[in-house]
Amino acid sequence: MTKPTKVTLTFDNGIEPIELPILSGNLGSDVIDIRTLGKHGIFTYDPGFLSTASCNSDITFIDGEKGLLYYRGYPIEQLAENCDFLEVAYLLINGELPNELEKKQFSSTIHQHTMLHDQLTNVFRGFRRDAHPMAVMVGVVGSMSAFYHDSVDVLDPILREITSNRLLAKVPTVAAWSYKYNIGQPFIYPQNHLNYAENFMHMMFATPCEKYEPNPVLAKAFERILILHADHEQNASTSTVRLAGSSGANPFACIAAGIASLWGPAHGGANEATLKMLEEIGDVSRISEFIKRAKDKNDSFRLMGFGHRVYRSMDPRAAIMQRTCYEVLNELGLHNDPLFKLALELEKIALEDEYFVSRRLYPNVDFYSGIVMRAMGIPNSMFTAIFALARTAGWIAQWNEMITNPEAKIGRPRQLYTGNTRRDFIPVDKR
């Protein structure tokens, strides 16, 4: 059957039918182009954007039915297996994998921008020591526009590239220093001879008192974790970055807005929440109690790390993350890690339960990531910060795509007004 090219809206009150074109992409669902509806004084209603495409994009494709994830057309499995993180960041931002020279130049550029302006250390010191690292990251990244205001002209392609490189290079330093500040240890400066993952691990775990050599197996696994989190089309935080950027706001402020949105437990905060949930369940014998709570509409508890707006099958990232769990736990001699065993059993039981099967709820990227990071010595409070530093690559790519789109307009949704109709002021002595 040929695909439809248009749809006609007919109304039951006799007003003229409206014809709307149907647009097709290269992959995935077609969309009805409703942009002209507003001229007829008619608007659509879709809180949470369950059925609404907010933009066209060439960056990432997800097939929720088949559990597919492509970055610029490359399957995530192939990128996770064969690339390093900066190679994937280059692909997301520029649209092609770098050749040898491009890869060397990009990596060298990023490594030369890893240091923060020295006065930024004062911004960290304005926070209470026990501030959540994500609170510090939102604040420090947002303040970067006050230190790098020479490159915030979003209409200048050269300055956009400089700011993109500064963000990609400096957000790991901000994340690692947010942790060091939290635990009262001195900031460890980036080491430009280390690769992206090793450098972050060094800034996280090294101290001035002894030499720290990142474990190469763990560093490779960490690169893979960053690749898996790098982009995911129009998720909540990416949509936040695009909306903030659509007003012409500076890129540091847009990325800070993305970090803030990612922090929510329904989104990137789920990795930290999943580990807390597993620690609360504690033992396989209590799984059924928590499954029951997750199914109870009167209980706000949800199975963290489960379910997804788009995936109606296994999140391909969860499968790779599970394999990474085995690899890291074996490397560390933790193959009997009780939380990993608990997670495997929880997944098995949930996937045999009609409630989850009928709603097509599967583990997502956050279900196993916390177990891997915890095994690597990363505290729960840093899980989402690491998600944010990885997603900075995707946010930058999506922000650049939005800014350079000739059809770009400021994002300004409409509403269905359900408040009071017109009424007159009542003086206070008459209320």
Return the residue of 303, 328, 393, 403 that touches ligand SDX, per CB under 6 A. Answer: 303
Nearby residues of 328 by Cβ (< 8 Å), 6 or more positions away:
217, 218, 221, 334, 372, 375, 376
- Is residue 266 at the binding interface for ligand SDX, with CB under 6 A as the rule? yes
Q: Would you say 88 and 391 are in contact if contact means Cβ atoms under 8 Å apart? A: no
Q: Is 235 in the site for ligand SDX (CB under 6 A)?
A: yes
**Residue 205 backbone phi and psi in degrees, to 5:** -110, -15
Write out the catalytic residue numbers. Answer: 267, 308, 366
Encoded tokens for 217: 């197996």
Binding segment toward ligand SDX, per CB under 6 A, in 156-164, 263-271, 325-333, 397-405: 263-271
Interface residues for ligand SDX in 310-329 (CB under 6 A)?
Answer: 310
Closer CB to ligand SDX, residue 152 or residue 304? Answer: 304
Q: How many CB atoms lie within 10 A of CB 304?
A: 23
For CA atoms 150, 97, 311, 338, give the dihedral sign: negative
Residue 364 is a binding residue for ligand SDX (CB under 6 A): yes
The shares of helix, strand and coil residues in the chain, as percent rounded to the nearest 5, are: 55, 5, 40
Q: Rounded to the nearest whole angstrom, what is the least distance from the CB of residue 231 to ligand SDX in the complex?
A: 8
Rule CB under 6 A: choose which of 103, 117, 276, 309 binds ligand SDX: 309
The Cα-based distances of 174 to 117, 180, 291, 315 in angstroms read: 11, 10, 38, 29
Minimum distance, C-beta of residue 278 to ligand SDX, in the bound complex (Å): 13
Task: Rank residues 22 and 266 by Cβ distance to ligand SDX and give the closer one.
Answer: 266
- Contacting ligand SDX within 65-124 (CB under 6 A): none
Among 133, 251, 305, 316, binds ligand SDX (CB under 6 A): 305
Going residue by residue from 174 to 213, which x/- string records binding to ligand SDX, judged by CB under 6 A?
----------------------------------------
Give the sheet arrangement for strand 18-23, strand by strand.
6-9, 18-23, 31-32
386 lies in the binding site for ligand SDX (CB under 6 A): no
Distance CA(172)–CA(189), nearest Å, equals 11
CA atoms within 13 A on the CB side of 1: 3
**Site for ligand SDX (CB under 6 A): how many residues?**
21
By CB under 6 A, name the one of 103, 117, 276, 302 that touches ligand SDX. 302
**Member of 144, 218, 270, 325 binding ligand SDX (CB under 6 A):** 270
Residue 166 or 232: the one with the smaller Cβ distance to ligand SDX is 232
36 φ, ψ (degrees, to nearest 5): -85, -10
User: Interaction with ligand SDX in 275-294: which residues (CB under 6 A)?
Assistant: 294
Stretch that binds ligand SDX, among 184-192, 212-220, 283-291, 361-369 (CB under 6 A): 361-369
Residue reference for tokens 């197996």: 217
Instruction: Please select the residue that binds ligand SDX; options are 126, 359, 377, 404, rule is CB under 6 A.
Output: 359
Point out which span in 11-19, 142-150, 169-177, 306-314 binds ligand SDX (CB under 6 A): 306-314
132 binds ligand SDX (CB under 6 A): no
Taking the C-alpha atoms of residue 237 and residue 395, their distance in angstroms, rounded to an integer, is: 8
Q: Residue 305 Cβ, how far from ligand SDX at the closest point, in Å?
A: 5
- The counts of H helices and E strands in the chain are 17, 6
Among 307, 320, 321, 371, binds ligand SDX (CB under 6 A): 307
Three-state DSSP state, 69:
strand
CA quadruple 218, 234, 99, 154: dihedral sign: negative
Query: Using CB atoms, what's the residue nearest to ligand SDX?
Result: 307
Structure tokens of 83? Answer: 């690339």
Closest C-alpha to 388, from 240, 214, 203, 189: 240
Nearest distance, CB of residue 409 and ligand SDX, angstroms: 23
User: Which is nearer to ligand SDX, 252 or 306 (by Cβ)?
Assistant: 306
Q: Which is nearer to ligand SDX, 87 or 315 (CB)?
A: 315
- The DSSP bridge partners found for residue 363 are 306
Q: What is the residue whose two structure tokens read 């963290």?
A: 304
**Interface with ligand SDX, residue 308, by CB under 6 A:** yes
Across-strand partners of 23? 31
- Catalog residues that contact ligand SDX under the rule CB under 6 A: 232, 235, 266-268, 270, 294, 302-310, 359, 361, 364-366
